[in-house]
Amino acid sequence: MKIILLGAPGAGKGTQAAYITKALNIPAISTGDIIRNALKSGSELGKKAKSYMNEGKLVPDEIVIDIIKERLKEDDCKNGFILDGFPRTIAQAEALDSMGVEIDKVVDLEVDEDLIIRRLTGRRVCKDCGSSFHMSMNTPKNEGICDNCGGTLIQRKDDQLSTIMERLSVYKEQTEPLKGYYEQKGKLAIVYGTNDIEQTGKDMLAAMKD
Ligand code: AP5
Ligand code: MG
């Protein structure tokens, strides 16, 4: 299955991508994670993307489209994949179409803005594997330590309140129009992402089968 996860910052895309990847045994591809890893390694891509990401703006389309083009050529994508955070503009969606990628379903995770802000201000991520936790809503077994790999949990640079507000406004302006784009193609499913992680995961799997 080829799935796109749509949704505002903090809607739970990364958390659900981790759930679905286990359930369907297909890779989850997060452009955000790929760019953060490039930033950490100090690569050319990281240098180009740094200021956009830290300010909560979108990295230019041509950079992100190239990342996805390369990633989808890899062997593990043969039986499908979950795209978390791509496409994020109409131009990115059109680029995906012109690569000949046939998407089965676009699942849009809907969460109210006040809950999004609580989720993002309390989020902590693993500095090594990128897994997401929350200080009160999705706590790790040992405080400050990643359940998956034992790495240290840190706050993302773009999870400061002012940057969160910028990301939300960028989402409304540039990414939300994708709902209409995929609805017209008959591919959009809407799932409310306010339940706990397990229930939301089940709702998403059900929406993919419809
Ligand atoms: P990206 O990393 O994709 O960030 P985002 O879209 O802002 O989304 P987040 O990762 O913040 O939220 P999420 O929906 O994954 O939520 P999570 O599961 O962590 O992109 C970052 C930046 O990279 C962009 O701003 C841009 O600069 C650049 N970029 C990336 N892709 C790009 C593209 N295609 N084009 C251009 N630029 C691009 O959950 C949030 C919190 O809530 C966590 O603490 C989690 O534990 C908790 N939580 C989640 N679900 C639940 C639940 N059901 N119950 C309780 N707690 C929950
Ligand atoms: Mg994420």
Helix, strand, coil percentages, rounded to 5, for the chain = 50, 15, 30
Active site residue 36: no
- Calculate mean pLDDT across residues 30-57: 94
Active site residue 88: yes
Q: Is the CB of 196 under 6 A from ligand 1?
A: yes
pTM: 0.96
**Among 50, 48, 51, 77, which Cα is nearest to 62's?**
48
CA distance 194 to 115: 8
123-126: strand order across its sheet: 132-134, 123-126, 153-154
Domain ranges of the chain: 2-26+79-111+173-209
187-201 residue pLDDT tens = 999 999 999 999 999
Q: Which is catalytic among the residues 88, 105, 119, 124?
A: 88
- Calculate mean pLDDT across residues 136-147: 96
Task: Decide: 66 and 168 in contact? Cβ < 8 Å.
Answer: no
What φ, ψ does residue 133 adopt, rounded to 5°? -130, 175
Residue 24's CB is within 10 A of a number of other CB atoms, namely 17
Task: Decide: 131 and 147 in contact? Cβ < 8 Å.
Answer: yes
Task: Decide: 204 and 17 in contact? Cβ < 8 Å.
Answer: no
User: Helix (H, G, I), strand (E, B), or coil: what is residue 130?
Assistant: coil
Q: Is the CB of 53 under 6 A from ligand 1?
A: yes
Active site residue 119: no
Q: Which is catalytic among the residues 36, 119, 124, 156?
A: 156
Q: Which is catalytic among the residues 2, 105, 123, 124?
A: 123
CA distance 103 to 177: 17
Model confidence at 39, pLDDT cuts 50, 70, 90, reads very high
Eight-class DSSP state of 77: G
Q: How far, in Å, from the CA of 73 to the mean position of ligand 2?
A: 22
Residue 115's CB is within 10 A of a number of other CB atoms, namely 15
164-180 residue pLDDT tens = 999 999 999 999 999 99
Nearest ligand 1 atom to alpha carbon 17:
18
Eight-class DSSP state of 75: G
Q: Is the CB of 138 under 6 A from ligand 1?
A: yes
Q: How many helices (H) and strands (E) does the chain have?
A: 9, 8
Q: How far, in Å, from the CA of 119 to the mean position of ligand 1?
A: 10
Model confidence at 210, pLDDT cuts 50, 70, 90, reads confident
Residues of the chain with pLDDT > 90, as a percent, come to 99
CATH superfamily of the 2-26+79-111+173-209 domain: P-loop containing nucleotide triphosphate hydrolases (3.40.50.300)
